[in-house]
Amino acid sequence: MNTALTDYEKTDIGTIQIAPEVIEVIAGLATVEVPGVAGMSGGFAGGIAELLGRKNLSKGVKVEVGQREAAVDVSVVIEYGNRIPEVAGGIQQNVKHAIESMTGLTVVQVNVHIHDVLFKASEKVEEAEPAAQRVR
């Protein structure tokens, strides 16, 4: 097995290694910046859509990282009323740009998986019954 490092990983004073978790966080943050994205899905195994929380910034992101290239899969929840192809295209461009500009890796794929559509809760105004009728 050849473990020689490429030029961009070597410097005069040491080596540079980027953990896959760093790429996942970058991709997750770039994804939720796109208008129309309600949040990240729970991921490939879970299947239950949850909105992105600050605790797990890589939720719904899977990456494969080589020495020079990266492939990314993101699972998202889209807000109802948005054109899915436009939102997905925006995700692909934003994720590709963010990873390439921050890490120097070439992004060869950004696959977008739409797991759910979020409907905004309709605001029902319930009429309050008079107190005398509610309590007996």
Domains of the chain (ranges, CATH numbers): 7-117 (3.30.70.1350)
| Distance between CA atoms of residues 48 and 77, nearest Å | 10
60: left (phi over 0), alpha (psi -120 to 50) or beta: left
Question: 105 or 7: whose pLDDT is higher?
Answer: 105
At residue 98, the pLDDT reads: 98
Determine contact, residues 72/62, Cβ cutoff 8 Å: yes
pLDDT at 21 over 70: yes
pLDDT at 124 over 90: no
Structure tokens at 20: 């896959």
At residue 131, the pLDDT reads: 56
One-letter identity of residue 39: G
Please name the residue ranges forming H helices in the chain: 20-32, 84-103, 131-134
Q: How far from chain centre, in Å, is Cα 132?
A: 52
pTM of the model: 0.74
What phi, psi does 87 have (nearest 5°)?
A: -65, -45
Supply the angle between the helices 20-32 and 84-103 in degrees, to the nearest 10. 140
